[in-house]
Structure 1
């Protein structure tokens, strides 16, 4: 007897089978956008989402300490702008102490951020 050839693609090995599912909700506009991106890539929406999820790098959220440091640096930037304006009017000697104060504060914040980053990596 002749063996009947089975149609279709060969079965996947157990380690290649996708057995787990995530449910993700999108807005109507997001879904249309993803459909169009998948179509441009020549993929199904499922395969496009799978490849996008597997190929992306997710960064760590900014910690509250880091946000505080960013706010502090933003305030210092404003102070530097004001000091530069005063330097143009009164000269460097008149605002020298303010400059040293800002430099030490920026150094403190940078040290704090470095210490927080080293703590979070452990």
Structure 2
């Protein structure tokens, strides 16, 4: 076989993983109440209990992901931003006093969303 064919055969299949496999374990026993606390904290940041424990052990903390509540708030604020941009465009075209009755309820809605947290 030629050199090119040997190199092509070497490239077949799934690429090798760069990172070492997780092959070592540390057994940790927890009281049911403590395990529930770990599960709750892990769920809050979007990890499994095992991933949460690994991050806490290796890094001393966990980088928090957005909670469902925060994602919902971001979605709502994004929608409000679109509405505000439309109102700003109309205010520039027609004048602020022409759309005042639309702006005031929008501002109250923003305050409500931000104060619900």
Q: Could you say which structure has the larger radius of gyration? A: 1
TM-score (norm 2): 0.48
Higher relative contact order at CA 8 Å, sep ≥6: structure 1 or structure 2?
A: 1
